[in-house]
Every structure is written in structure tokens, then in C-alpha cells.
Amino acid sequence: MYHLTLKSLYSFLIILFMSLSVESRHTNNWAVLVDTSRFWFNYRHVSNVLSIYRSVKRLGIPDSQIILMIADDMACNPRNPRPATVFNNANQNINVYGDDVEVDYRGYEVTVENFVRLLTGRLPAGTPRSKQLLTDEGSNILFYLTGHGGDGFLKFQDSEEVTSQELADAVEQMWQKRRYNEIFFIIDTCQASSMFDKFYSPNILAVASSLIGEDSLSHHVDPAIGVYIIDRYTYYALAFLEKVRPNSTRSMATFLAVCPKRVCLSTVGVRKDLFGRNTTDVPITDFFGAVRQVDLSPTHPLIEFDDSKIILTEEEQTFHQSYAYLPQFPQEIWS
């Protein structure tokens, strides 16, 4: 009798252990979104980072758990013909600047030192809560970095750079200080995969817009603005994320497949060896969502995403489709 109980206890423990190794154990979600470049002709980098900001916020990560670093202010740039807006698309369907963007580090605050201090938690005493990454061992963190980079570095504001080794060491400090459970690292820059090559800490899944030796390319110019307004990788990532709802059961593997080479023109790089789980079993909402539900203010009207006025090249036409904003709060309450 005793023997039998022990045996069933064993199998119970084994089953429990197996299920634990598949399920995520995170208890909260954070996002660190960084645009490292300045100047008007880099409009697209602001639009890139705000596209991801829009998506994680829509999917449920509250502003208090998003660190947004933007080196230059395109919305209020005197050269912006449409003040207080940033569009990801020449057709102006999605104003990614929105009504409620909370920038945590702006202008000259976007430095390598502040970035590394933010990650490692070595901030000066008295740093406001909004400028701190208050994660713990239960946090899943989404990193998104964009700007100008090269083999092994990412430039910050044309004046300094963070190397892939410095980044990897900062992440290792985070691991040793129990500041994360899992990290999903996205980078959209030239030779982007060089920035995740040096990672050596556990539980990191990384994706990059291009491989070493490749440039990451911009998507299209808005003639009114006169510059490229979004990069290809992020454009297709946003197109994918706009169709994801907070109750989505899609897997991270589907996100890793966005922007195949025929539309990206660069090869998207993926690094999975440090990540403990099979990406086909990991719901996308483990990183692009929140464990807790949040209510957002009903500031975004429902808009049909109409791409029909954009002139697309032949290869882009495979992505020619419309999609819509989600209602962020039951609209009937307000009418």
C-alpha cells in the first residue's frame, strides 16, 4: 500500500515537473524599447520603436512596465508637416505617436551609460520610478532596439556606441541579480545579428533584422515627410502584431517567421540555443502581453487599415491587405 502511494507520488512529481518545464513561470511582463538615433532623416527609427510600443501596450503591458527611450522627437520636429504625429505608413492609417505615449528617457538622456545602468539596476539614488527597470526573477522582458549599427556595435546618437560584449555582460549581471525570468530580444539595425552573438546568459530568445554583412533596409518614403518612415523588418512585424489579440494562442515561432527574405531583403537571424523552451509551445503573449489584465482608455477609434493608396512593388503585394484597430475598452460604456 505504502509502496503504491510512493509510486503514484513519484509519477505525480514527474508529470508536474514535465508540465513546469513547458509552461512559462513568469509572473509579470516588462518591455524596454529603445531608439538610439537622432536627426530628422532617422524618422523611421522613431516610427519603428513606437510601432512596437503601440503593440505591447495594446496587448496589455501597462506604461508603468514599459521603458521607452527615444533620442529625438519627430512628432514636434519643425520639419514635420503633420505636427504631433508619427505615421508608420504613407497612407497615414496608424499614428503610432497616439494620444498617450509616455517617454521615459528622451533626447540626450538616451546614452549607453543610462541604458546599461537601467538594465543592471545601478541607477543613482532618487531616480524616478518611471526611469527604473523594477523587474524580478519572475519577469519576462521584451527588448526592442533600433538605430544605426555595424558588426558588433549599436550607435547611440552618433556620439558613442554599445558593443555586443557590453550588452551581453549587462544581461549576465541581470541574470545574476535575478532581474529576469526570460528575455525576448529584438533588434532592427544593420548587421543586427552581431548584437546577439555574444549573449551567454540563460533563457534568452533573440531575433535580428539582418545577418552579419547585411544591411537592414527601409520600407518606404512618405513624399510629404520626405524621408523613409519605417524599416522593413518592423513594418512587417507591426503588420503581424496588428492581427494579434490579447487572447491569441499564436506561438513565438510564428512571430520569428515574420519578414521572410523576399520581403525583408535581408535575412532575419534567430538565436534559440540559450532559450529553454520550444518556440512552437511558447504563446506570443508570454512576451507581447501581460499576465494581469489592464484597462486602457478608449482613445483609439476603430479604423479600417486601408493600404490601397500605397504603391507597392511587386514583391510587397503579397502583404497587401487591410486590418483594423481593436476597441481598447467596451465602447458602449461611453456612448
Ligand X SMILES: *[C@@H]1O[C@H](CO)[C@@H](O)[C@H](O)[C@H]1NC(C)=O
Catalytically active residues are 148, 190
How far apart are the C-alpha atoms of 31 and 62, rounded to whole Å?
A: 9
Q: Between residues 131 and 250, which has the closer beta carbon with respect to ligand X?
A: 250
Q: How far is CA 249 from the centre of its chain?
A: 18
Judged by DSSP in three states, 265 sits in coil
Q: Which one, of 143, 283, 163, lies nearest residue 207 by Cα?
A: 143
Q: Between residues 169 and 182, which has the closer beta carbon with respect to ligand X?
A: 182
* Least Å from the CB of residue 204 to ligand X: 16
Q: Between residues 83 and 301, which has the closer beta carbon with respect to ligand X?
A: 301
Cα angle 63-72-151, degrees, rounded to a multiple of 5 = 95
* Least Å from the CB of residue 289 to ligand X: 12
How far apart are the C-alpha atoms of 250 and 281, rounded to whole Å?
A: 9
Helix 43-58 to helix 232-241 angle, to the nearest 10 degrees?
Answer: 20
Residue closest to ligand X when measured from CB atoms: 278
* Least Å from the CB of residue 247 to ligand X: 4
Q: Between residues 247 and 335, which has the closer beta carbon with respect to ligand X?
A: 247
* Least Å from the CB of residue 244 to ligand X: 10
Q: In 147-289, at which residue ranges do the beta strands (DSSP E only) sit? A: 149-150, 153-156, 160-163, 182-188, 204-208, 218-222, 227-231, 269-271
Q: Between residues 159 and 280, which has the closer beta carbon with respect to ligand X?
A: 280
Give the residues lining the site for ligand X (CB under 6 A).
245, 247, 249, 278, 280
* Least Å from the CB of residue 252 to ligand X: 11
Q: Which one, of 269, 246, 245, lies nearest residue 257 by Cα?
A: 269
Q: In 232-333, at which residue ranges do the beta strands (DSSP E only) sit? A: 269-271
* Least Å from the CB of residue 278 to ligand X: 4
Q: Between residues 107 and 330, which has the closer beta carbon with respect to ligand X?
A: 330
* Least Å from the CB of residue 248 to ligand X: 6
Element (H, E) at 142: strand 139-146
Edge-to-edge strands of the sheet including 160-163? 149-150, 153-156, 160-163
* Residues 6+ positions from 134 with CB-CB distance below 8 Å: none
CA dist 78 → 39, 74, 75, 91 (Å): 12, 9, 9, 21
Q: Enter the C-alpha cell of residue 99.
A: 494620444
Q: How far is CA 258 from the centre of its chain?
A: 13
Q: Between residues 243 and 320, which has the closer beta carbon with respect to ligand X?
A: 243
